[in-house]
A = this chain, B = another copy of it.
Amino acid sequence: MRQTDLENPLALEHQVCFALAIAARSVIALYRPVLEPMGLTHPQYLVMLALWEFEPVSVKDLSGMLQLEPATLSPLLKRLESAGLLRRDRDTRDERSLAVSLTEKGRDLRKQALKVPPAIVDRLGMDVDELMQLHERLTRVIAAAKEPS
């Protein structure tokens, strides 16, 4: 621990949760101007990434992948549907389940999305290497947080 943590364990500047919250908001803010022309918010972009990779998927699948509650995804998916990017059909084998699949428009959007990661990396102006190390550490924190206790 640093000196100031010994002095004040509640020092704002040294809380990891604080850095984490601001880093997430700051980076997501970078995506806003890039995603806006595509008509996507950042959470919607993440859903599209999942779909481009794993379509078709159920809400439960998405919930697992994105670590979001079904209650969060439900209205979000409806917005993407009314934007014409995806379809929400009931699974014929299990009528409880929803089969979320891309429309042609949704598939086409991937071409534009390919420009997003380079634009962000460029805007951040950080080494890809450093970003990968950050990713590594974040993955460990996620795993630690998920650990049952």
Q: Give chain B residues whose Cβ lies under 8 Å from the Cβ of A27.
A: 16-17, 20, 141, 145
A117 B24 Cβ-Cβ under 8 A: no
Question: Which range holds the interface residue count of chain A?
Answer: 35 or more
Q: Which of A3-53 contact B (CB under 8 A)?
A: 8-12, 14-31, 42-43, 46, 49-50, 52-53
Given contact pairs A25-B67, A65-B12, A145 touches B19 in the complex (Cβ within 8 A): no
Q: Give chain B residues whose Cβ lies under 8 Å from the Cβ of A50.
A: 12
The verdict on A94 contacting chain B, using a C-beta distance below 8 Å, is no
Partner of A14, one of B18, B135, B141: B135
Given contact pairs A17-B120, A23-B138, A28-B21, A10 touches B145 in the complex (Cβ within 8 A): no
Partner of A20, one of B1, B66, B132, B138: B138
